[in-house]
Structure 1
Amino acid sequence: MTPGADSTAYAPQSVPAPGETLKETLEVLGIPQADLARRTGLSTKHINQVIQGTAPLSPDTALLLERATGVPAGLWNAREAAWRTQLAREEEEKALSDHVGWLDHFPLRELVSRKILPDSSKNVFNLRRLLDFFGVATPDVAENVWRGYQTAFRRSTVLSRNEYATATWLRSAEREARKQECGPYDRTELIALLPRLRALTLEKQDFWSEELPRLCGQAGVALVFVPAFTKTNVSGATRWLTSDKVMVALSDRFKTDDQFWFSLFHELAHVLLHGKRLTFMDDSENLSPTKQHEDASEDEANEFAANVLLPPQYAVAYRKLAATRYLSLAAIEAFASTAGIAPGIVVGRLQHDGAYEWRQGNHLKRPVTLA
């Protein structure tokens, strides 16, 4: 393989059959097949079958060949394994060629831009690359795995728009989360961290984007930011990777800080309040504090997030602010300063509660864009 070559690339006929090597070795040594049969105690027919490739070269035979030819058994075993692997790849190539159409379900250009695929070609090579990305054997296996995840979703949006794009987003998040080093999960420490996480709403993104994962990692939470794919509704996800490590993934689907921070504490609520066996996928419907959900866990997560961002001690002042007839931006900023939270979050809360029109105050929200 040349330097920089992709290890997943398939190179047909790149490995000689062990029988060919055996035939060449016998020619160099001047040993007829019949003589080799006598030296090894094998039949001439079996030796011929090995040379023709119709019989496998077993480890026992490799030891006999080592004594008769002086070529180490390890070399014969390695040649046999490489040859059988090549044959299996050829069979896989034929089988996968019937499933290239599976690629049509995916946003190929986005997969290329995120370096999941080298290009948008619909061929077996890219199909294999995508299967490697998902860590599955075949497209059918991939979809069975996703269905298995869905049985654990308490509130799932995987099927709402493009399940393939959403599955790719979730897998991207999982791969990133598994690479993150975290301490063991500590519920008490995570609860203690909440005020520090809330205070980061006042900071710029270039600061909190590094500080948030660092702090969460101390409590066993692998926090990852994965840009949203087009044609997906997902804003966040929570999934336990091990009993001591939980993934919290956030997208930038909403592009503003009020939604981003609400999503964060919504997902952390799932970590703190709900079971380790469950996977949560959340979208705009899940994140609506004013809507009652069929699943109580979503309402619990929304209430938790709302109370973290605007704790009960500010409830009276907030209700007074929301009841103000002619609500000024200066009043919103003053309240946000007193509460120690970003003003855009207050604007978002007022809009959700119907105290402010959706078109009002949006310039107080800060943009959130994930690379």
Structure 2
Amino acid sequence: MFEPNWASPPGDTIARLAAAGKTSIHDLAERIGFEEDLFSGIMEGRVVISDEIADALSSELGASRQFWIERYNQFLGDRARLAGSAPTEELSRWGQSFPVRALRELGWLPKGSRGERLSEDILSFFGCDSISGWNERYSAGIGQVAFRTSFAFETDEMATLAWLRIGEMQAENLTLAKFSASNFKKRLTELKKLCALKRPELFFPKLQQACAEEGVGLVSSKAPKGCRASGATWTSPNGNPIILLSFRYLSEDHFWFTFFHEAAHVVLHGTDHISVDGADPSPLGASVFEDEADIFAQDTLVPADLRDEMLNAMPTRPHARRIARKAGVTPGIIVGQLQKAGALQPHQFNDLKRRYKWEGSTKLPVLSHPRKYS
């Protein structure tokens, strides 16, 4: 039977997130507006994390209200077990905070497990021995990538964290050179030539190998239901940047734009990052990084001089094909750029885009049959 062998108070997670944000515990307490005694009690687990306290922690450190409440409840459960009371209910409730059905559908969790066994399976998936260990590990690193983004629903955090974990496991199997931001940046213009290859099983391995030669790990995985991420970046324990892509929307224009957007975060910002639809990026200032990454991706796909030509003419299919030839990309990518700029409506010229579909493997989609649009 699974038995955590220590009780980690909420302060352990608070301290790690504060340190990751380069904020001292004293400054954090002042920013939240808590008295010293109250904040010490929260850190040590002597004070119940109420909705109000959870909201304050969420506002300053990220993660949801539910995360902080569950973090406190998990501490109580571990402490009770160590005192001789089995934390079965707390353990089961922790497991149910994950989108279990979605993870099973992708084959990431075995079917049929319930209660404590389910929590054990989830811990095994994350490579952890206890809930305390899970909290410690995922209050930083790729966990911080998920929890530092404001989601509309708490389940999104756990679904996204599971997706990041799959990327983490894939990246562990890559052989990567020493990372050089300048060399990787120089290589990116060359890499867009791979968009000429139609099928993901042809272009993605070449793209992955080229990134590995510059010290960047590139992996992809279908995202579980509840995860709205297009891409993410983080730094591995060995110091190599990792880029994870989900092929969200299953279209070539979105895939290549997302790849270069995430690559921009690697070469320009060097920070952990995630692109999530409908999310409010945090910490403060992240919107500036997002704008810079968008511009970088746009300029890589369509250089500035061609961009003016692309936008200043009447958008037609021949025009999209002509600009694509000059830019060294596909007409579908140009259509995506025209739509993003508002020169085309979202439904226009989509017949020029290559589409993908998930079929069997959850690592890479396959080329779908072209569809015609009115």
TM range (shorter): 0.5 to 0.7
8 Å CA contact 1:233–1:284 kept in 2: the answer is yes
Structure 1 distance, partners of 2:124, 2:178, is 29
In the alignment, which residue of structure 2 is the partner of 1:318? 310
Go from structure 1 to structure 2 and tell me whether the alpha carbon gap of 1:155 and 1:368 turns closer, same or farther (over 3 Å shift). farther
Q: Give the CA deviation at 1:236.
A: 0.6
Report % sequence identity: 29
Q: Give the CA deviation at 1:283.
A: 1.9
CA RMSD of aligned residues (A): 3.1
Are residue 180 (structure 1) and residue 174 (structure 2) matched? yes
Aligned ranges for residues 254-333 of structure 1 at < 5 Å? 254-275=249-270, 278-284=271-277, 295-321=287-313, 324=314, 327-333=315-321
Structure 1 distance, partners of 2:166, 2:244, is 10
Structure 2 distance, partners of 1:225, 1:312, is 29
- AA partner of residue 131 (structure 2): P
Structure 2 distance, partners of 1:158, 1:146, is 16
Structure 2 distance, partners of 1:154, 1:229, is 14
In the alignment, which residue of structure 2 is the partner of 1:81? none
Q: Deviations over 1:10-64 (max 9, x none)?
A: 8xxxxxxxxxxxxxxxxxxxxxxxxxxxxxxxxxxxxxxxxxxxxxxxxxxxxxx
Aligned ranges for residues 67-86 of structure 1 at < 5 Å? none
Are residue 347 (structure 1) and residue 335 (structure 2) matched? yes
Pick one of 228, 233, 237 that aligns with 1:238. 233
Aligned ranges for residues 125-140 of structure 1 at < 5 Å? 125-140=117-132
Are residue 194 (structure 1) and residue 188 (structure 2) matched? yes
Q: Give the CA deviation at 1:93.
A: 11
Secondary structure at 1:99's aligned position in 2?
A: helix
Query: What stretches of structure 2 of length at least 5 have no aligned partner?
Result: 3-81, 358-363, 366-374
Structure 1 distance, partners of 2:194, 2:305, is 19
8 Å CA contact 1:270–1:301 kept in 2: the answer is yes
- AA partner of residue 338 (structure 2): L
Scaled by the length of structure 1, the TM-score of the pair is 0.66
In the alignment, which residue of structure 1 is the partner of 2:161? 167
Go from structure 1 to structure 2 and tell me whether the alpha carbon gap of 1:212 and 1:150 turns closer, same or farther (over 3 Å shift). closer
Q: Give the CA deviation at 1:147.
A: 4.0
In the alignment, which residue of structure 2 is the partner of 1:121? 113
In the alignment, which residue of structure 2 is the partner of 1:361? 349
Secondary structure at 1:207's aligned position in 2?
A: helix
Farther-moved stretch of structure 1 (293-302 vs 147-156): 147-156
Q: Deviations over 1:60-79 (max 9, x none)?
A: xxxxxxxxxxxxxxxxxxxx
Structure 2 distance, partners of 1:268, 1:334, is 27
In the alignment, which residue of structure 1 is the partner of 2:216? 221
Q: Give the CA deviation at 1:96.
A: 5.0
Rg larger in structure: 1
Structure 1 distance, partners of 2:230, 2:279, is 9
Structure 2 distance, partners of 1:123, 1:222, is 36
Go from structure 1 to structure 2 and tell me whether the alpha carbon gap of 1:110 and 1:155 turns closer, same or farther (over 3 Å shift). closer
Secondary structure at 1:358's aligned position in 2?
A: coil
Structure 1 distance, partners of 2:221, 2:85, is 32
Structure 2 distance, partners of 1:190, 1:256, is 25
Scaled by the length of structure 2, the TM-score of the pair is 0.66
8 Å CA contact 1:344–1:365 kept in 2: the answer is yes
**Following superposition, which runs of at least 4 residues in structure 1 exceed 6 angstroms of deviation?**
90-93
Q: Give the CA deviation at 1:141.
A: 4.5
Structure 2 distance, partners of 1:159, 1:122, is 27
Go from structure 1 to structure 2 and tell me whether the alpha carbon gap of 1:255 and 1:188 turns closer, same or farther (over 3 Å shift). same
- AA partner of residue 129 (structure 1): D
Structure 2 distance, partners of 1:92, 1:254, is 50
Q: Give the CA deviation at 1:131.
A: 0.6
Aligned ranges for residues 52-71 of structure 1 at < 5 Å? none
Secondary structure at 2:249's aligned position in 1?
A: coil
- AA partner of residue 173 (structure 2): K
8 Å CA contact 1:221–1:245 kept in 2: the answer is yes
Q: Deviations over 1:236-284 (max 9, x none)?
A: 1110103541110001222111111111011111110113xx3101123
Go from structure 1 to structure 2 and tell me whether the alpha carbon gap of 1:367 and 1:210 turns closer, same or farther (over 3 Å shift). same
Secondary structure at 1:118's aligned position in 2?
A: coil
Query: What stretches of structure 1 of length at least 5 have no aligned partner?
Result: 1-8, 11-89, 288-292
8 Å CA contact 1:228–1:251 kept in 2: the answer is yes
8 Å CA contact 1:109–1:120 kept in 2: the answer is no
Q: Give the CA deviation at 1:303.
A: 0.9
8 Å CA contact 2:151–2:157 kept in 1: the answer is yes
Q: Give the CA deviation at 1:234.
A: 0.9
- AA partner of residue 151 (structure 2): L
